[in-house]
Each structure stands twice: as C-alpha cells, then as structure tokens.
C-alpha cells in the first residue's frame, strides 16, 4: 500500500517562534503511526495542519492525496479526529451530539443511528443515549468522542491521547479496534505520552523534539539504533535532560523549603 500521509519540509511558527522546523514524514496506509514528543514539541500543531484546521504553514502536505491547505473540506470528509481535552456541548444528549456530528459529515440519520448503536453497544453506553454529555464520566466522554470521530468511516484517524480516562478493559478494546482499523487498510495517526502503549500498539514511531524529527522507524529499528531498551528510555535519551532523579529531588526540596 502507498503513503497516505506525506509531509515535506513542514514549517510553522507563531509570532516569530518556530514550532515546526522542517518536518518530513511518510505514513503508509494500513499502519498505526506513533507520533510522540515532549510537551511543546509541535505534535498538536502537526495534527492540526494534517487535519486541515491550520492552513498557515510552509511545506508540502498531502493526506490521502489531498492538500489540507487547498482542499480542507474534502480532506475532512475522509478523516476522523479525536483531540486531547476536547470540549463538547455539555447540554446536548449523547444522541443529539452524535446526530449533530453525523449530520455535519452528511450522514443520514438512519446511518448515524445504525453505526452509533453498534459502537455504543460495544462501549456499554447505549443506556446513556438520552442523557446529557455533562453527566458522563471522563472515560464515557472519551468513548463518545471516539465514536463521533469514526462515525463517518474515515480512511485516516488522528488520535491525541485516545486512551485518556479509559478503564483497562476499555483501553484494551480501543487498542484492538485501532489494530482492526489498520488491518482494514485505514491509517491511524497516534499521539500519546504513554510510551509503553505506543511501543506495543504502533507499527512505526516518530519522535519530535523542538519542532524537528529526531528519530523515526519501527520500535525494533529505534531500539537497535540506540542499543536496546524501552521506548521510554530511548525517548528520554533523545529528548530529556537525563537528570530526572536529581530534578525530582529538587522539586521535593522546593516543597520542604520556605522560600526565604
């Protein structure tokens, strides 16, 4: 299968501050692609560009052959997006929210109901259809968000911390769902700070630091290049200060001191 996502020389800055500094990426169809980096590395900005939410950038970007800058509407028809910390209309019911999102994607109500019923049944949320979003737990909201993001059967799914708030069983279910999505030829672009999940779930992993890609490959390739170890260790070596124990002790000392 060919590349679904192709990024060349991607640059983006906010008020003179560079956030992405020449990122090159290629993500093949039918894979789960892990995109990781420290806070402020530029992950969310990349995802916003790839999903057509940010049009002001430099470089060449294609998602499913579409240019997010020139064809944002066509692009959004083919992708699904689960942002981290998504705000939802709390006053809507679960059913109303799904109908709203499904209709925005041009789906008939009957199709929305049929697909959503399956998802909500599996996610054990069906009884929550008439209840308002404000009454849902964090995990339930995450399941609802995931359902709303894939309701239109997108070819590419962008996920930012999709397992946040999910219990163990639900997290396993979602991970298996992502694998099944990839096996069906769809592409999953997965952003997370949970290294062991990325290590186990993703087919390929890219590490972003300071707006630049510092590593890219399968976990085995990354591990071999860094002399073995977990993804967490590789990540810390590539992006961290390497003095985490000393830093942690400094924090405790700050709590014990009176600042005088």
Partner 1 sequence: MFLNLVLGIVDRLRAPITAFGIDFDRFRELLRVKLLLEFRTSVLGQGGMGDVAFVLTLVGFWLMGILTGVAALVLGPSVWMGATTGLLMGMLFLLLIVHYGNILVDTTDIEQVAPHPVADRTLFASRLAHMMVYVGALAVVFMSGNLMLAVFRGPALAVLALGPLCAFLAVVLTVGVVAGAFAFLLRVLGPARFQRATLWMQVVVMAAMMGGGQLVRFFSRDAGPVLDENLHWLKWVFPPLHFVGLYDFVLGERTVENGAALGLALGLPLVAVIGTLKLASRFFVAGLDGSIHLGGTPRGGWRPTLFARLGVPLCRSHAQRAGFGLALALSRRDPFYLRAALPSLIAFPVMAIGMGLNLPDPPGLAPALALLVVGLPTVLQSALFCTDGEASWLLEASPVGERDAVLQGAVKGLIVGTIAPALLGAGLFLVLLRGSGEILPVILALELVAIAMLVSLLRWHHGMPFSRSPKQQAVDWSNMGHIFMLLLAGLFVAGVHVALAWNPWVLWISVVLSPVPMYALFRRVDRIRLHAGRRR
Contact between 46 and 123 (Cβ < 8 Å): no
Considering only residues 23, 63, 107, 206, which one is a binding residue for partner 1 as defined by CB under 8 A?
Answer: 107
Considering only residues 90, 118, 167, 196, which one is a binding residue for partner 1 as defined by CB under 8 A?
Answer: 90
The reply on whether position 51 binds partner 1 by CB under 8 A is yes
**Within 13 Å and on the Cβ side, how many CA atoms surround 159?**
33
Tell me the window of 69-77, 168-176, 191-199, 221-229 that interacts with partner 1 (CB under 8 A): 69-77
CB of 78 to partner 1, least distance (A): 8
Order of all β-strands in the sheet with 32-36: 79-82, 156-160, 187-191, 32-36, 204-209, 212-217
Cα dist from 72 to 56, 67, 76, 139, whole Å: 12, 7, 6, 30
The reply on whether position 91 binds partner 1 by CB under 8 A is yes
Residue at token pair 């970007």: 61
Contact between 100 and 92 (Cβ < 8 Å): yes
- Rank residues 69 and 105 by Cβ distance to partner 1 and give the closer one: 105
CB of 138 to partner 1, least distance (A): 13
The reply on whether position 99 binds partner 1 by CB under 8 A is yes
CA distance 20 to 72: 20
Residue 222 tokens read as 């990354």
**141 CB-near residues (< 8 Å, 6+ apart):** 88, 133, 165
CB of 253 to partner 1, least distance (A): 24
The reply on whether position 124 binds partner 1 by CB under 8 A is no
CB of 44 to partner 1, least distance (A): 12
Tell me the window of 20-28, 71-79, 180-188, 209-217 that interacts with partner 1 (CB under 8 A): 71-79
CA distance 3 to 198: 20
- Rank residues 91 and 248 by Cβ distance to partner 1 and give the closer one: 91
The reply on whether position 113 binds partner 1 by CB under 8 A is yes
Helix, strand, coil percent values for the chain (each to nearest 5): 45, 25, 35
Beta carbons within 10 angstroms of residue 197's beta carbon: 18
Considering only residues 3, 95, 236, 238, which one is a binding residue for partner 1 as defined by CB under 8 A?
Answer: 95
The reply on whether position 122 binds partner 1 by CB under 8 A is no
**Residue numbers 140-199 binding partner 1 by CB under 8 A:** 148
Which residues sit at the interface with partner 1, rule CB under 8 A? Answer: 51, 53, 73-77, 81, 83, 86-96, 99-101, 103-109, 113, 126, 129-132, 134, 148
């Amino acid at each position: 299968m060919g590349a679904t996502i192709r990024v060349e020389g991607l640059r983006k800055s906010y008020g003179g501050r560079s956030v992405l500094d020449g990122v090159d990426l290629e993500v093949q169809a039918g894979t789960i692609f892990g995109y990781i980096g420290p806070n402020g590395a530029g992950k969310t900005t990349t995802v916003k560009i790839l999903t057509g939410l940010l049009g002001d950038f430099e470089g060449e970007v294609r998602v499913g052959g579409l240019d997010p800058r020139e064809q944002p509407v066509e692009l959004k028809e083919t992708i699904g997006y689960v942002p981290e910390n998504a705000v939802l209309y709390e006053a809507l019911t679960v059913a109303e929210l799904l109908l709203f999102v499904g209709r925005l994607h041009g789906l008939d109500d009957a199709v929305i109901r049929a697909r959503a019923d399956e998802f909500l049944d599996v996610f054990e949320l069906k009884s929550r259809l008439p209840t308002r979003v404000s009454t849902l737990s964090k995990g339930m909201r995450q399941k609802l968000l995931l359902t709303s993001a894939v309701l239109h059967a997108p070819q590419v799914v962008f996920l930012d911390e999709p397992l946040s708030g999910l219990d163990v069983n639900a997290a396993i279910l979602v991970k298996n769902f992502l694998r099944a999505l990839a096996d069906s030829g769809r592409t999953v672009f997965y952003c997370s700070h949970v290294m062991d999940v990325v290590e186990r779930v993703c087919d390929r992993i890219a590490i972003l630091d300071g707006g630049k890609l510092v590593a890219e490959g399968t976990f085995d390739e990354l591990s071999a290049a860094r002399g073995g170890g977990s993804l967490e260790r590789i990540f810390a070596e590539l992006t961290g200060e390497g003095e985490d124990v000393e830093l942690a002790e400094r924090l405790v000392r700050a709590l014990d001191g009176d600042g005088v």
